[in-house]
Amino acid sequence: MGVRERLGESFFTSRVDKVVAWARKWSLFPYPFVTACCGMEYMAVSSAHYDLDRFGAAFPRFTPRQADLLMVVGTISHKMAPILRRVYDQMTEPKWVMAFGVCTCTGGFYDNYATVQGIDTIIPVDIYVPGCPPRPEAVINGIMKLQEKIEKMKQPI
């Protein structure tokens, strides 16, 4: 039996929702699924100069069972698509996905049979960060937009 069932819809429960939203907003654990040249920009964003730690997203997890933010970075081929889907399915709820780079968002300049034309055909995407490669400032902006989205959503307790 959860908190909502025990307390009902009271003032206290709405405050618990806000506390849970605040905690999730400032404690993102990204799983970097890096496949191509955008990986260099991911490394730049993760460096001390841009300091993702101030957004609570600086501690990457390299197992999907401990991550709640899947950062898909780079080109995804149709051969990699089932692997990406398996990684997404292994993540615990709630989970979010960031498409990082134009090849991840739309297939980029790879308009051929081997490249996935946007990962939203495989998994649901919450935030798109376009660019070839995207600037670190754009990635930070995407993380801030995701934090706003997390804060506004109804929190499962």
pLDDT of residue 142: 92
pLDDT of residue 2: 62
Q: The whole model's pTM is what?
A: 0.83
pLDDT of residue 157: 61
The residues of the chain scoring below 70 in pLDDT are 1-14, 155-157
pLDDT of residue 84: 94
CB neighbours of 63 closer than 8 A, spacing ≥ 6? 31
The CATH number of the structural domain formed by 29-152 is 3.40.50.12280
136: helix, coil or strand?
helix
**Would you list the domain boundaries of the chain?**
29-152
What does the DSSP assignment read for 3-50?
HHHHH-S-HHHHHHHHHHHHHHHT---EEEEE-STHHHHHHHHHSTTT
